[in-house]
Chain A
Amino acid sequence: MSTTPQMQTATPASGRAPKVVGLVCDWAVGTTELADAAGRLRAHPSVTIIRVPCSGFIRPSWLEDTLKAGADGVFVVGCPYGDCLNREGNYLMRERVDQLQRRLARRKIPAERLAMLAYGLHDVDAFLAEVAAFLKRLEALVPPAAPARPAAPRPAQTASQPVQTEEGA
């Protein structure tokens, strides 16, 4: 990753933060104070949280569909390994996420767009830090947006070099 100032913030060169959906087990990290009524994280407004009864409830097809619907990334949050309220949910989800990542990799979709996290009720800071790291990894993957259309028709003479707008990728 380059270290130009733009990459330090959550906004990549394309101008928008990565859109992420997080499916969070309601028994895991406490999200009541972290998210607003619509489920957007206050710390990272491009991340939306959906609360589910167990991390094991999540069907891998939903994660895939969310990526196809245009999300840059999807993550699942379960309880710390060993402490799932339903005993095995987070282990089962861990294995399903692994399988899905291998399937995505075979289709050349980067596996880093999917993540399985494990945080308990009080691990709020660690959870937010991990989400921030996840967003940063996604920015490295988000291709910088090409200009939608040239503002004016291209001049016939091409003596000048096109300006390099890509950040290191």
Chain B
Amino acid sequence: MYRRVLTALLRATLRLDVAINRVYPTDLNPLYYTGGLANLFLFVLVLSGIFIFFYYVPSLAGAHESIRYLTEQVPYGGLIRGIHRYAADGFIIAALLHLFRNWFTDRYLFSRDSPWISGMFLLFFGGFVGVTGYILVWDVRGLTVLAIFNDLLKAIPLAGQFLADLLTGGQGLSEGTLPRILLLHVGPASMLYVLLGWHYVRLRHPKVWPPATWVLVCVGLVTLASAVLPAVSSTPAEPGVSPAAIPLDVFFLLPFWLAGYLPALAVVVLVAALFAIGYVIPYVARETPQEMGPRDPGVAQVIDGNCTGCELCYYDCPYNAIVMVASPYQGLSRAAQSRKLLAVVLDSRCVECGICIGACPFEALELPGMLESEITQRAAAAVQA
């Protein structure tokens, strides 16, 4: 059932590609660079965030005023604040597109669960950073979000009060709250780069930046949005005053809107369940090797006797799954007898794609489920028939 739905989603995703590839050359299709787009927005967020950081005052009395000063008095301050706001939405949109595309096209198989898990952490912390960003503005929306967040955390059994105190920097609202929220905004934002390091570590040549066209269009759209729909604060926060309605940012504040309709624990359980499902996606309802057919031919095996240490497989493996070690013994074939290096496949990193087999000129690599002899025999048989 799950597999049928997934296949349908895969076909829909690729149908979208067909439509997009009619307009763009395939290497400019933005859906092939969703990760790069998220990274681009993150970069814009960091730069605009540093600018805002210089003006922000993390005190209950001064926060709202400092943001107002930035928006209205500082030249281009309003523009950069708006860029920060819309790049955050762009980041979440790109990250979700990235998640759905990689999920529907099976790009989490074998050792690719490592980028998947780090990606889920990235999404979680990215969302958290966005929420703290809304609190920092310290308008009525910010106060409401903080209050709801506090309630949601307190609803967690056992650790609830502890976590709520961590959020507000002590019991309830105090002068230490906004500096704490600022720390929780900037700290995880920097940690996103550490997580990105984990996200890329298994990939050779990760597509970190989209093509120039998309860099320009995305930065331009974010600037345009910031000018056309300026980011504004609502009235300053007053503890005790709860507004009738607050403008909702669907990408970050959905759980807080839900908290108005569901009990706090239900919202916490829902969010936790969603993330838990996200984390286990690479591991559930996997196809058997039979069902996968040519897609699961077994981990690449080095034929030590033939390996000459030429490093071609090492350079071609897209997942850094091959390492070259000092050759502990000599090979069997003539070319392999004077080798200095030996290729070793790291099973935990191998995705069974076989690209190393294609790279090797010395017949020193094989996929157990699809041997070279099998391919050449089938081709020859097809020709003789």
> A–B direct touch, CB within 8 Å, in complex?
yes
**Chain B: minimal CB distance from A95 (Å):** 10
Identify which of residues 367-385 in chain B touch chain A, using a CB-to-CB cut-off of 8 Å: 367, 370, 372, 375-376, 378-380, 382-384
For A121, the chain B residues whose CB sits under 8 A away are: 10-11, 14
Contact B17 A88 (CB under 8 A): no
User: In the complex, which residues of chain B have a beta carbon less than 8 angstroms from the beta carbon of A59?
Assistant: 357-358, 360, 372
Q: By the criterion CB–CB under 8 Å, are A62 and B21 in contact?
A: no
Main secondary structure on chain B at its contact with chain A? Answer: helix
Most buried by B among A51, A66, A87: A87
Stretch at the interface among A75-83, A147-155, A161-169: A75-83
Q: Distance in Å from the Cβ of A64 to the closest Cβ of chain B?
A: 10
Contacts of B294 in A (CB 8 A): 26, 51-53
Which of A87, A93, A123 makes the CB contact (< 8 A) with B358? A93
B204 touches A88 (CB 8 A): yes
Evaluate contact between B17 and A92: CB separation under 8 angstroms.
Answer: no
Inside 8 A of B304's CB, which chain A residues have their CB?
A: none
Determine if B27 is an interface residue (Cβ-Cβ < 8 Å). Answer: yes
Whether A96 is near chain B, meaning CB under 8 Å from some CB there, is: yes
Q: Which residue of B has the minimal Cβ distance to A80?
A: B26
Write the chain A residue with the least CB distance to B29: A82
Is A69 located at the chain interface by the 8 A CB criterion?
Answer: yes
Pick the residue among B203, B376, B383 that contacts A19 (CB under 8 A): B383
Q: Do B367 and A92 touch across chains, with their CB atoms under 8 A apart?
A: no
Determine how close the nearest CB of chain B comes to the CB of A119; give it in whole angstroms.
Answer: 10
Shortest beta-carbon distance from A88 to chain B in Å? 5
Which residue from chain A places its CB closest to the CB of B382 in the assembled complex? A48
Docked-complex contact A71 and B383, CB < 8 angstroms: yes
Q: Is the CB of B297 within 8 A of A88?
A: no
Interface string of A1-32 (1 = CB under 8 A from B): 00000000000000000010101001100000
A53 pairs with B32, CB closer than 8 A:
no
Q: Which residue of B lies closest to A54 (CB)?
A: B353
Instruction: Name the distance in Å between B235's Cβ and chain A's nearest Cβ.
Output: 48
Q: Separation in Å of the B144 CB from the closest CB of chain A?
A: 43
Total interface residues on A, CB under 8 Å, equals: 42
B355 touches A69 (CB 8 A): no
**B29:A39 contact, CB within 8 angstroms:** no
Contact of B382 among A21, A27, A93, A96 (CB under 8 A): A21
Q: Are A52 and B293 in contact (CB under 8 A)?
A: no
- Chain B residues with CB under 8 A of A61: 361
B139 within 8 A of A: no
Complex-state Cα separation, A133 to B68, whole angstroms: 65
Residues B383 and A21 in contact, CB atoms below 8 Å apart: yes
Once A52-B294, A53-B295, A56-B316 are accepted as A-B contacts, the answer to whether A66 and B379 lie under 8 Å apart by CB is: yes
Query: CB-CB < 8 A to B207: which residues of A?
Result: 87
Check B27 against A122 for contact (C-beta < 8 Å): no
B378 neighbours in A (Cβ, 8 Å): 39, 48, 50
Confirm or deny: B15 has a beta carbon within 8 angstroms of a beta carbon on chain A. yes
Q: Mark B20-46, 1 if CB is under 8 A from A, else 0.
A: 010000110100100000000000000
Complex-state Cα separation, A123 to B19, whole angstroms: 11
- Asked whether A57 and B382 contact (CB < 8 A) given A81-B26, A120-B14, A122-B11, the answer is no
Asked if B89 is an interface residue, CB under 8 A from chain A, the answer is no
Interface residues of A (CB under 8 A from B): 19, 21, 23, 26-27, 39, 48, 50-54, 56-62, 65-66, 69-71, 74, 80-83, 85-89, 92-93, 96, 118, 120-123
Binding site for A on B (CB under 8 A): 10-11, 14-15, 17-18, 21, 26-27, 29, 32, 105-107, 203-205, 207, 293-297, 316, 318-319, 351-355, 357-361, 367, 370, 372, 375-376, 378-380, 382-384
A-B contact pairs, 13 of them (CB 8 A): A19-B383, A26-B295, A53-B296, A53-B370, A60-B358, A66-B383, A83-B17, A83-B26, A87-B205, A88-B355, A89-B353, A92-B316, A122-B15
Q: Which 9 pairs show the lowest CB-CB distances between chains A and B?
A: A57-B354, A48-B382, A56-B355, A82-B32, A86-B353, A54-B353, A66-B379, A82-B27, A80-B26
